[in-house]
Amino acid sequence: MEPALKAGQLVVGRQTRDLQPGDVVIVSHDGLEKIKRIERQQGDLIYLLGDNPAASTDSRSFGWVQAKTIIAKVVWPKL
């Protein structure tokens, strides 16, 4: 998520199902927790993008994810 977040930076998340495009979320994908920004939603499917497109592995490579894979919405720092 650089430049918005630096590697190793502490974040605080809150579990919620009230998700909107533009929200930064922690998602479980391929056994890893990743931080991405919600680009689009269609029902229970969410399209995620990283803030650094040239270096991000996101929905452009792994496709849409199920909403249930979202662990939390990042609430701090405010992005």
What does the pLDDT read at residue 58?
96
For domain 12-76, which architecture applies?
Ribbon (2.10)
Which residues in the chain land under pLDDT 50?
Answer: none
What does the pLDDT read at residue 6?
86
What does the pLDDT read at residue 8?
87
pLDDT in tens, 17-36: 999 999 999 999 999 999 99
DSSP states of 19-33: --TT-EEEEEETTEE
Other Cβ atoms closer than 10 A to 45: 13
What does the pLDDT read at residue 70?
97
The C-alpha atoms of residue 79 and residue 23 are separated, in whole angstroms, by 8
4 to 36, 56, 61, 67: CA distances (angstroms): 11, 13, 21, 23
The C-alpha atoms of residue 40 and residue 28 are separated, in whole angstroms, by 18
Q: What is the pTM of this model?
A: 0.91
